[in-house]
Chain A
């Protein structure tokens, strides 16, 4: 096969699968899922070939050619970053496709589900390979659409439909900023192609304020997609979708798109220190806030969702500290262990007949043995216990923060403590103690099609952090000269958090702590609905005023009143008396004569 066409095949195969399923095979769910899985496996194989081929070039098509004003190609950028992301997206994606075969086996919308899943793969791969902002933005929006479709898969449930809408709208807010940012960057550099923008960067750096605004607007897009404060509200609600979707989109790939984009155009941000400062603090706030909220959630998927938020906060923090490598490293390890955790949660949920409340589980360690072991691997990776993968990537970020910004470092360390606390709380409550419901007592191990991906994911979740493994896939950040101080503190915080959680939650039947602000997610949803409500109220009042007093009052009723008034004035002359008419007539004649003769 011509190697210039290979990247196109990787990109278009999932799209083709989605089209075939929608147009032809919707009636045969089994066949549809087979096509979808086949397409993603082929894409994965193609990605492996691309990964193994140095200096691969892809065929570039011209889409818009208005040079020298605007030139938009349909092209691929195939550097190490993209190759790793390709492998990550198709690899994790393939495992999740296979897992979905088990999870969605009896779902009535199975064909639709797999079509959406393939469509998502296509859009996500598009973001990863795009070599220019316009193409990336299109795929960016397509990812938003497919995420909408997948969150709302069970659209007959109101909560799912609402969650899908919320995710889409919140993303759109960020995307609007993204679009403005792209335009500003294009105006300044005269190009939308990343490599050319990088060369023309000097044209923009002489206007630091302009650059900062453009960079922050572009960051808005990332904040929407990667669910950063204050646009984070959609991600926990997105857990209404099927669990494999939560694993694929809302943990491993789509939410990573924001971070990936930040790294891809890192040159823009690194030229603007104020923008970096804002980004690093937004990441830190998100990390701490989400971790605090996670400590008081009772829905297993929501806990994981907030932990995703928190980890994304770490990545954005790393970008803000001007180290794309550290961000990518954490993204890389996080994709595996978070997908693993979600899939583990999924198999618990499905085996307990869609029970998601952790206080109705308990004692599952014995019955769901493999799920438990793999979940434990994911947990250790997430809380950063050496030698699991999360330890290395989180340590890289912490060391970075230690060197560049102490305040952020302490907050990040605190987040590490919280992470260990809420994850151990989850593990202790779900897997140990006595079963707290009949469903938990009857739970048994999931089928192999679901367990297999768990085991396959557990391997990289464990090993992806080792330098010799990770270096194959991502550029590791340069070693920081912090010795054993930072890893020691991180480990201390983790162990402390874990111990506190174990002591506090061992053999509990119900939540011992009750802290309303955490449990209610800091009232963000309430605040937003209040703000939206107030804005709408204001708008409604304004339009009511315009409608009632200006359009209706001055326009319509004004016209009718004027006509009526003139009419009643004229009525005074129409007395019906012949002689009055004659008198007026005579008066008129006299007036006429006066005006013709004396004027």
Chain B
């Protein structure tokens, strides 16, 4: 029997992997992917909360799922903007390594 705890553990693991990726990887595109992973870890926990919170009428609470849609939408927009910035950055600096991009001005 799967309980809320299992989902949250998976979600937490996903989030930790994402965060570790953000901290440890040097390639900015991988960092970007790790960020997406962290967003999806949040989505997973939200869906799990929605599924396991059943009201008096036997219906699940769908507020959290609506919230997930919003996150997906915003994440899509963010990916569009973020990838554009990365492309511009690459054109300017010929690199996608965060260590090489430590100044605000160049």
Give the total of B residues in contact with A, Cβ under 8 Å.
11
Does A578 make an interface contact (CB < 8 A)? Answer: yes
Q: Mark A556-599, 1 if CB is under 8 A from B, else 0.
A: 00000000000000000001111100110010000000000000
Residue from the set B23, B24, B31, B103 with the largest chain A CB neighbour count within 10 Å: B23
Within the complex, the shortest CB–CB distance from B24 to chain A, in Å, comes to: 8
A277 and B24 CA atoms in complex are apart in Å by 98
A contact residues around B19 at 8 Å (CB): 586
A582 and B23 CA atoms in complex are apart in Å by 7
Within the complex, the shortest CB–CB distance from B14 to chain A, in Å, comes to: 15
List residues of B (28-46) whose CB comes within 8 Å of A's CBs.
Answer: 31
B contact residues around A577 at 8 Å (CB): 98-99, 102
Complex contact A583–B23 (CB within 8 A)? yes
Q: Mark B75-105, 1 if CB is under 8 A from A, else 0.
A: 0000000000000000000000011011110
A577 and B22 CA atoms in complex are apart in Å by 12
A576 and B103 CA atoms in complex are apart in Å by 6
Q: Chain A: which residue is nearest B103 at the CB level? A: A576
Q: Chain B: which residue is nearest A580 at the CB level? A: B23
A575 and B102 CA atoms in complex are apart in Å by 8
A contact residues around B101 at 8 Å (CB): 578
A contact residues around B102 at 8 Å (CB): 575-578
A582 and B24 CA atoms in complex are apart in Å by 10
Complex contact A579–B103 (CB within 8 A)? no
Residue from the set A578, A582, A583, A586 with the largest chain B CB neighbour count within 10 Å: A578
Q: Chain B: which residue is nearest A577 at the CB level? A: B102
A576 and B102 CA atoms in complex are apart in Å by 5
B contact residues around A575 at 8 Å (CB): 102
Q: Chain B: which residue is nearest A586 at the CB level? A: B19
Q: Chain A: which residue is nearest B101 at the CB level? A: A578
A372 and B102 CA atoms in complex are apart in Å by 104
A contact residues around B23 at 8 Å (CB): 579, 582-583, 586
B contact residues around A578 at 8 Å (CB): 31, 98, 101-102
Complex contact B22–A582 (CB within 8 A)? yes
A121 and B22 CA atoms in complex are apart in Å by 99
A576 and B99 CA atoms in complex are apart in Å by 9
Q: Chain A: which residue is nearest B104 at the CB level? A: A576
A578 and B24 CA atoms in complex are apart in Å by 11
A583 and B23 CA atoms in complex are apart in Å by 6
A582 and B103 CA atoms in complex are apart in Å by 16
A583 and B98 CA atoms in complex are apart in Å by 14
A contact residues around B103 at 8 Å (CB): 576
A350 and B99 CA atoms in complex are apart in Å by 98
Q: Chain B: which residue is nearest A589 at the CB level? A: B19
A577 and B104 CA atoms in complex are apart in Å by 10
A586 and B101 CA atoms in complex are apart in Å by 21
Within the complex, the shortest CB–CB distance from A83 to chain B, in Å, comes to: 96
A584 and B99 CA atoms in complex are apart in Å by 16
Within the complex, the shortest CB–CB distance from A439 to chain B, in Å, comes to: 89
A565 and B80 CA atoms in complex are apart in Å by 43
A contact residues around B99 at 8 Å (CB): 577
Q: Chain A: which residue is nearest B98 at the CB level? A: A578
A583 and B102 CA atoms in complex are apart in Å by 15
A576 and B105 CA atoms in complex are apart in Å by 11
A475 and B99 CA atoms in complex are apart in Å by 110
A487 and B17 CA atoms in complex are apart in Å by 124
Q: Mark B2-23, 1 if CB is under 8 A from A, else 0.
A: 0000000000000000010011
A152 and B22 CA atoms in complex are apart in Å by 89
A575 and B98 CA atoms in complex are apart in Å by 12
Within the complex, the shortest CB–CB distance from A522 to chain B, in Å, comes to: 79
A578 and B31 CA atoms in complex are apart in Å by 10
Within the complex, the shortest CB–CB distance from B66 to chain A, in Å, comes to: 25
B contact residues around A579 at 8 Å (CB): 22-24, 31, 98
Within the complex, the shortest CB–CB distance from A429 to chain B, in Å, comes to: 93
A526 and B24 CA atoms in complex are apart in Å by 83
Within the complex, the shortest CB–CB distance from B53 to chain A, in Å, comes to: 20
Q: Chain B: which residue is nearest A575 at the CB level? A: B102
A582 and B31 CA atoms in complex are apart in Å by 11
A contact residues around B22 at 8 Å (CB): 579, 582
A578 and B102 CA atoms in complex are apart in Å by 7
A534 and B50 CA atoms in complex are apart in Å by 90
A578 and B98 CA atoms in complex are apart in Å by 7
B contact residues around A582 at 8 Å (CB): 22-23
B contact residues around A586 at 8 Å (CB): 19, 23
List residues of A (435-474) whose CB comes within 8 Å of B's CBs.
Answer: none
A579 and B24 CA atoms in complex are apart in Å by 7
A339 and B48 CA atoms in complex are apart in Å by 120
Within the complex, the shortest CB–CB distance from B28 to chain A, in Å, comes to: 8
Within the complex, the shortest CB–CB distance from A380 to chain B, in Å, comes to: 102
Within the complex, the shortest CB–CB distance from A277 to chain B, in Å, comes to: 87
A575 and B104 CA atoms in complex are apart in Å by 11
Within the complex, the shortest CB–CB distance from A178 to chain B, in Å, comes to: 74
Q: List 8 A-B contacts (CB under 8 A).
A: A575-B102, A576-B103, A576-B104, A577-B99, A578-B98, A579-B31, A582-B23, A586-B19
A residues with CB within 8 A of B: 575-579, 582-583, 586
The 9 closest A-B pairs by CB, nearest first: A576-B102, A578-B98, A582-B22, A579-B23, A583-B23, A577-B102, A582-B23, A576-B103, A579-B98
B residues with CB within 8 A of A: 19, 22-24, 31, 98-99, 101-104
Contacts A577-B102, A578-B98, A582-B23 given; 10 further ones with Cβ under 8 A?
A575-B102, A576-B102, A576-B103, A578-B102, A579-B22, A579-B23, A579-B31, A582-B22, A583-B23, A586-B23
